[in-house]
Structure 1
Amino acid sequence: MRLRTVLATVTAGLAAAVLTTAAGPATAATPPAAAGTATGTAQVDACSPYVSLDRFSDALDKTTYDGTFVGNFSALAVDTDGSIAALEDRSSLFTLDAGTLRPRSVVPLADENGAALDSEGLVVDRDGTRLISSETEPSVRRYSRDGTILDRLPVPSSLFVAPAGRATANQTFEGLTMLPGGHTLLASMEYAISGDSTGIVRFQTWHRTHGPGSGRFRLAAQYAYRTDTGLGVPEVQALPDGRLLVLERGFTSGVGNTVRLYLADPRRATDTSGVENLTGGPEVRLVKKTLLADIADCPSLGATAKQPQPNPLLDNIEGMTVTGRHGNTFDVLLVSDDNQNPAQTTRFYSLRVTAPR
């Protein structure tokens, strides 16, 4: 989402030379490692009992590749070959080298009429196809590697942007993830729809009966999730046990960003697909959540900010993917959306996240 001022409004496998911070912008032809460092060597520093910050990188900030601006990143996913798929919210999908973060390729995206997308969520399916959400309508489409539309998933009419539905423009499908087993897709609305209590957002799922690429998705259960006051949900990522990592984010002009990482469990939540208005009452079991870390509590590791921030490490963090697992600890890669704004930074963050049992 392109955050407006009205809003009160990471891979351990990445090379250590890359995920240190860059002192300034690098050109696309310059290896990220040559852009400079502020922290020297990689460090592991605790943000909380569950989360530590390994490294970060500003190496791609304000660069271009093949004539395309590198930034505006809204989602990340690990591709079938181990590279990093990085989605821009302005209709481009990059392939980044997992070891250097250098762009390898970029594919333009569009809707059925050739119009640009406000592309926000990304899943790379097991067959290599891309499931991409746009918050314009909102929509979820399935694309081939070359950007050809293969399918479009149904969306409940209540989640459409008003007047067609009850959602607010620029506040719809932001997060997208595939649940374990590869049969259920989940999208998170960023903010509440009209008629639901402020702060209660809907998680919509789709289910398919066949394997990746061989079956159409149909609408399935919906769940209710309560955000912290003033925050929305820009990203969700499924863990192997069916729980979710959920990013909550907000922005206050003159203060900066708030970004928190939660562990959420939808497995015992009420299916709210038939509930017209969510009031937060006891008749609906919300998705249970546990705070893992407030990113403002992470060490800054020498990071600098171009605008006021509670911690100079912070920016408009919007994309997240799980890149590795070590027992109950996960390598998580985050990225910020710079909105192509001189006052913001495209920054990658490498976290280690332990999910409490």
Structure 2
Amino acid sequence: MTKRFAATAAFVLLSSTVTVSATDIGATFTSACPFGDCAAGISLSYLGEFVIPSGQMEHGVEFGGISGLDFDAATGHYIAISDDRSDKAPARFYELDIDVDASGLKGVSVVKHVTLKDKNGEPFAAKTVDPESIRLGKDGIYWGSEGDAKVLLPPFIRVTAPDGSFVREFPLPEGFAPTADKLTGIRDNLAFEDLAVAPSGDVFVGVEAAFYQDGPKPSLTTGSLSRIVRFDGKTGEPKAQYVHPVSPIPQAAATAAAGNDNGMSEMLALDDHRLLAVERSYAEGFGNNIKIMMMDLAGASDISATPSLTKNDQRVVPARKSQLLDLRAIGLVPDNIEAMSLGKAKDGTDVLILGSDNNFSTSQKTQFYAFKVLSRPQQ
């Protein structure tokens, strides 16, 4: 049963507060020649924002934690994964109806939620999984768990059936698993955040920031070398690895003791070598900075055989990267954007949808932005 979030007083307040300072509906943003490649040009037109306040219940389960989003052409709906670690309810993904057309973004409805199952066909026990990304593939729903480096829980990429049941798992490349000595492997809460499926069926999986063996995590003065793995979608076997250079943290926190960070929180394949990436940063006392990048893997080095980027004397060419959009620079006030999808609006308009993870916090919100895609890269 479809449940539309009511426009409660709290929602109206949140929505009107943001809209006053936001860019106008219909404003256009064009990057004509990213990295000097005019065939990679992209143009977007802003269609608006829709906010769901934290604490909203859906069939007895608190809605939130939206960390991945993808469009299902067969239904016209979107699938969205929650990063709830089976704490509030069993790990799950949602089917959403996003009401958007060329005139603007009007609402978001929950059609249903589906419980993810482990290899034994059971819901995941609390804190045994951290769902962060989701995509539709040729043989099912692909999704990723970030793992938990604190307790040496490895990340994974799995394929599930529409009912949430386990189908298969991709092998984890060497050097990715967390280690007690922190000499190699994922950093805590900086692992499998990003998942993209190319038209060829290849699957791209990215980590938020560098592994221990590949250098530091981002700081105010230095970036971080994030690995992207390219898997063969049919066999699940890794084909290549690339470097995405995550930018330095763009904003200092209010005080030296306060926290700040930056990382790649989502990827989206435009074709077999060009991807969009979200670089999401946070600074206490300031909030979130959200930048949409385009990257091109053509010509990037395959670092599959490079165990460590800090102990390497071979030439490494990272993916080319070009900033397309800075949400704060165009007048928006973004929350914790972790989800991104291309899709079709109700009238057939091509759209780009962004979604935020509210961390189930009363100081945050689930936020959706929509952009009309006026033009996109040509092969």
Q: Shorter chain as normaliser: what TM range? A: 0.7 to 0.9
Are positions 1:132 and 2:155 aligned together? no
**Counterpart position of 2:164:** 147
* TM-aligned CA deviation for residue 163 of structure 1: 3.1
**Counterpart position of 1:69:** 62
Are positions 1:288 and 2:320 aligned together? yes
Q: Is the 8 A contact 1:237 1:321 kept in 2?
A: yes
3-state secondary structure, aligned to 2:328 = helix
Q: Is the 8 A contact 2:232 2:238 kept in 1?
A: yes
**Counterpart position of 1:55:** 48
**Counterpart position of 1:115:** 125
**Aligned counterpart for 2:341 among listed residues 299, 307, 321:** 321
For residues 12-60 of structure 1, what are the alpha-carbon distances to aligned partners after superposition, in whole Å with 9 as ceiling and x for unaligned? Answer: xxxxxxxxxxxxxxxx5655599646359x8122466544432000046
Distance in 1 between the 2:45 and 2:4 partners? 31
Are positions 1:203 and 2:228 aligned together? yes
Distance in 2 between the 1:189 and 1:262 partners? 15
Amino acid aligned to 2:321: K
**Counterpart position of 2:97:** 97
Relative to 1, partners in 2 of residues 1:152 and 1:241: Cα closer, same or farther, differing over 3 Å? closer
For residues 100-143 of structure 1, what are the alpha-carbon distances to aligned partners after superposition, in whole Å with 9 as ceiling and x for unaligned? Answer: 4211110122433633521011111234x211100112100111
Relative to 1, partners in 2 of residues 1:156 and 1:282: Cα closer, same or farther, differing over 3 Å? closer
* Stretches of structure 2 lacking an aligned partner (at least 5 in a row): 32-42, 85-90, 100-106, 148-153, 217-223, 250-261
Report how many aligned residue pairs link the two structures: 307
For residues 133-169 of structure 1, what are the alpha-carbon distances to aligned partners after superposition, in whole Å with 9 as ceiling and x for unaligned? Answer: 0011210011111111111110113111223952112
Distance in 1 between the 2:273 and 2:236 partners? 19
**Counterpart position of 1:346:** 366
**Counterpart position of 1:237:** 268
Q: Is the 8 A contact 2:4 2:108 kept in 1?
A: no
Q: Is the 8 A contact 1:45 1:299 kept in 2?
A: no
Q: TM-score by structure 1 length?
A: 0.78
Relative to 1, partners in 2 of residues 1:98 and 1:314: Cα closer, same or farther, differing over 3 Å? closer
Distance in 1 between the 2:113 and 2:358 partners? 18
Q: TM-score by structure 2 length?
A: 0.74
Are positions 1:84 and 2:91 aligned together? no
3-state secondary structure, aligned to 2:301 = coil
3-state secondary structure, aligned to 2:215 = coil
**Bigger strand fraction:** 2
RMSD: 2.7
Relative to 1, partners in 2 of residues 1:261 and 1:29: Cα closer, same or farther, differing over 3 Å? closer
* TM-aligned CA deviation for residue 286 of structure 1: 0.3
3-state secondary structure, aligned to 1:320 = strand
Q: Is the 8 A contact 2:54 2:364 kept in 1?
A: no
* TM-aligned CA deviation for residue 336 of structure 1: 0.7
3-state secondary structure, aligned to 2:175 = helix
Amino acid aligned to 1:226: P
Segment drifting more, 277-286 vs 228-237 = 277-286
**Counterpart position of 2:188:** 169
For residues 200-232 of structure 1, what are the alpha-carbon distances to aligned partners after superposition, in whole Å with 9 as ceiling and x for unaligned? Answer: 000011114xxxxxx431121000110111321
Distance in 2 between the 1:240 and 1:172 partners? 24
3-state secondary structure, aligned to 1:195 = helix
Relative to 1, partners in 2 of residues 1:158 and 1:324: Cα closer, same or farther, differing over 3 Å? same
Distance in 1 between the 2:322 and 2:66 partners? 26
Relative to 1, partners in 2 of residues 1:29 and 1:205: Cα closer, same or farther, differing over 3 Å? closer
Distance in 2 between the 1:270 and 1:104 partners? 43
**Counterpart position of 2:104:** none
Give the 5 Å matches for 1:183-198.
Answer: 184-198=202-216
Distance in 2 between the 1:238 and 1:166 partners? 25
Amino acid aligned to 1:268: G
Are positions 1:337 and 2:357 aligned together? yes
